[in-house]
């Protein structure tokens, strides 16, 4: 259950769901059949009626249970939370979600512990971070939010910014890497730039230069597996320590890629959300 305040004068429930939120036909049908949209006092709302700005609607619907087994306690930091979503800081070395039946210590297992502690039962990640990447991960707290945030990711209206130290000194101050990414036929986990791969676009900006390396901020326009790692290696400047993509090994034996910021216009709260991870 959640509440929503109409901000667009004269909009109908039908228009809100289909045009503003652009929910799929199945979800819209389920909400209609469940008579899920009412006024705060429970009065049913005609989906064809124009509603004045300031009208407060209540959405009441069955929320399924997510399958993640909760950890004993949540050990990931919550950077932002409201009734529709939360943003956590995933540690380096932790998987976003279980990949095998026995996985019990992934970020989503920890998130589920937090959700259940607050009386909830649903949490689904909207995007994912590689195991070796740390930083901000957006999680939906109900299916309507998941549907809308998924669409926002596809439409590039959730801006994901990363920081990485890369080998060498990139000549230009900023640029765009537009190079499709596919699987490496000779290596199970590697990805490569390939003409037959999926469309992939990364924007980068050099923010600091060191001797032999530079710090770059990167914004993902698409979200392919290993996208930043592949694109920077393709540019000739792999992430420091990323030996999978031919960088020199560091003393720690690891690479540093950090999801430092998420920014988007909240579809339910109608305000700009900017969350940073230091």
- The answer to whether 142 and 122 have CB atoms below 8 angstroms apart is yes
Q: Where are the alpha helices (DSSP H) in 123-261?
A: 143-154, 227-234
Establish how many alpha carbons lie within 13 A of residue 252's alpha carbon, considering only the half-sphere containing its beta carbon: 9
195, with CB counted inside 10 A (0-12, 13-18, 19+), is exposed
Phi, then psi, of 160 in degrees rounded to 5: -110, 120
- What does the DSSP 8-state code read for residue 109? H
Examine the residue annotation and report whether 82 is marked as an active-site residue of this protein: no
CA distance 245 to 39: 55
Tokens of 160: 């994901």
* Separation CA 54–CA 214 (nearest Å): 50
Report the 10 Å Cβ neighbour count for 1.
10
Dist CA 110 CA 104 (whole Å): 9
Please report the sign of the dihedral spanned by the C-alpha atoms of residue 178, residue 183, residue 189, residue 192.
negative
Its sign, for the CA torsion 256, 103, 87, 270, is: positive
Of the residues 49, 105, 130, 150, only one is catalytic, namely: 130
Catalytic residues: 130
């Amino acid at each position: 259950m959640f509440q929503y305040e109409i901000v667009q004068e004269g909009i109908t429930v039908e228009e809100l769901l289909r045009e503003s939120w652009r929910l799929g036909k199945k979800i819209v049908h389920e909400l209609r059949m469940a008579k899920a949209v009412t006024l705060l006092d429970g009065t049913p709302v005609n989906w064809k009626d124009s509603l004045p700005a300031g009208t407060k609607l209540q959405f009441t619907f069955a929320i399924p249970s997510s399958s993640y087994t909760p950890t004993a306690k949540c050990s990931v930091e919550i950077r932002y939370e409201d009734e529709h979503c939360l943003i956590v800081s995933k540690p380096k070395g932790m998987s976003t979600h279980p990949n095998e039946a026995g996985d019990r210590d992934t970020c989503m297992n920890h998130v589920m512990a937090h959700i259940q502690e607050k009386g909830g039962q649903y949490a689904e990640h909207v995007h994912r971070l590689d195991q070796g990447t740390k930083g901000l991960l957006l999680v939906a707290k109900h299916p309507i939010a998941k549907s809308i945030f998924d669409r926002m990711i596809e439409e590039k209206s959730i801006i994901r910014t990363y920081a990485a130290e890369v080998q060498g000194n990139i000549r230009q101050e900023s640029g765009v890497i537009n190079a499709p990414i596919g699987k490496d036929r000779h290596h199970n986990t590697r990805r490569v730039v390939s003409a037959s791969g999926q469309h992939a676009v990364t924007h980068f900006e050099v923010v600091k230069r060191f001797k032999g390396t530079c710090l770059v901020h990167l914004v993902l326009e698409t979200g392919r597996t290993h996208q930043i790692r592949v694109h920077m290696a393709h540019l000739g400047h792999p992430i420091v320590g990323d030996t999978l993509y031919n960088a020199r090994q560091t003393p720690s034996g690891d690479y540093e890629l950090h999801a430092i910021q998420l920014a988007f216009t909240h579809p339910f709260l109608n305000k700009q959300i900017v969350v940073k991870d230091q």
